[in-house]
Amino acid sequence: MDETTNKTPRSSSDLTESSSGVAVLDRAFAILNAFGPSDDRLTLTELSRRTGLYKSTVLRLLGALEHGGYIRKLDDGQYAIGHQPLRLAALYQRSFQVGPAIEPLLAQLSRELGETASFYVRQGDQRLVLYRVEPSRSVRVSIRIGEEFAIDKGASGKVLLAFTETQDPRWDEVRERLWAVSFGERDPETASASVAVFDSTGTLAGALTLSGPKGRFDAPATIEVALANLLECAKRATVALGGKGTRYDASIARLNASDLAGAPGDKAEP
């Protein structure tokens, strides 16, 4: 039986769905996952509350995680993530083998358009920020490398769904034009535009994305400029990864001839 605090116990079906079958690893992962994007440090009490485990269990697992370099105990007695996840994150990024092609383009997009440029990949039902570059301007969209968001919200989510769930007719238009935009879907104050990037086999490598405050993206001309730059950069990235850049030519031509103000399916649903 799982040792729990006074928090509401989970049902047996919840435990089955979230369990790997190795209880000690599930609990250790629960401790690591208890740290959110903005958590620099957490107390033993807070870790116990978030994981639903007794303090004694959490303390024992923290000792093992600290020994392995996954957790650090700070001078004030609180706990922080250790150095090992950073090493694994670097290995994870390299496993995609897209960094050299993507990172310079993100820097260019952010510098020239003054918005946050990022590259997303799909992880199950989430979209994960693999790379990102933020502009120097004070009002901007701020996201972190490794941060995850629901895949059914935002422009990058639409692109990732379109090219990983290829039989779903909802994404036919995105597959045809290679891009998607969103206004206030994940965050009511944020808008984004995203374009698919492909590898040498024609498989989706990820979604090249530009995000900014919705007030700066409301004008169709602004979205057109963003998409034009994203399509050109996605074409360059695809070629660098061994793919066919010509697949973007029709999309670029249609974009130049279209009026995005009337493009269907791009505004956030009520």
Strands of the 116-123 sheet, one edge to the other: 148-150, 126-133, 116-123, 204-213, 190-198, 179-183
pTM of the predicted model as reported, rounded to 2 decimal places: 0.68
**CATH numeric code, 19-82:** 1.10.10.10
Report yes or no: 143 and 150 within 8 Å, Cβ to Cβ: no
Confidence of residue 20 (pLDDT cuts 50, 70, 90): low
Residue 112 Cα distances to 64, 209, 223, angstroms? 47, 14, 14
Domain boundaries, the chain: 19-82, 93-262
> Which among 89, 51, 97, 48 is positioned nearest to 70, based on CA atoms?
89
- The arithmetic mean of pLDDT across residues 237-264, rounded, is 81
What local confidence, expressed as pLDDT, does residue 93 receive?
67
pLDDT tens-digit readout, 218-238: 778 888 999 999 999 999 999
Give CB contacts under 8 A, 24+ apart, made by 74-79.
74/41, 76/41, 77/43, 77/44, 78/41, 78/42, 78/43, 79/41, 79/42, 79/43, 79/44, 79/47
**Taking 50 as the threshold, does the pLDDT of residue 252 lie above it?**
yes
pLDDT tens-digit readout, 50-98: 999 999 999 999 999 999 999 999 999 999 999 898 888 777 766 667 8
Cα dihedral value 18, 22, 23, 24, nearest 10: -120
What local confidence, expressed as pLDDT, does residue 137 receive?
76
Continuous H helices in 134-213: 155-164, 172-177
What local confidence, expressed as pLDDT, does residue 21 receive?
74
Helix (H) or strand (E) holding 71: strand 71-73
pLDDT above 70 covers what percent of the chain? Answer: 86
- 225 burial level (CB within 10 Å; 0-12, 13-18, 19+): middle
Confidence of residue 188 (pLDDT cuts 50, 70, 90): confident
Ranges 1-10, 123-132, 256-265: which has the least confidence = 1-10
Residue 266 Cα distances to 34, 148, 229, 231, 259, angstroms? 34, 22, 18, 17, 13
What local confidence, expressed as pLDDT, does residue 193 receive?
95
What local confidence, expressed as pLDDT, does residue 151 receive?
95
Confidence of residue 160 (pLDDT cuts 50, 70, 90): very high
Report yes or no: 99 and 125 within 8 Å, Cβ to Cβ: no
Which listed CATH number (3.30.450.40, 3.60.120.10, 3.40.50.150, 2.40.30.10) goes with 93-262?
3.30.450.40
Ranges 34-38, 101-105, 238-242, 266-270: which has the least confidence = 266-270
**Taking 60 as the threshold, does the pLDDT of residue 2 lie above it?**
no
What 3-state DSSP class applies to 80?
strand
**Taking 50 as the threshold, does the pLDDT of residue 202 lie above it?**
yes
As a whole number of angstroms, the distance between CA 26 and CA 5 comes to 17
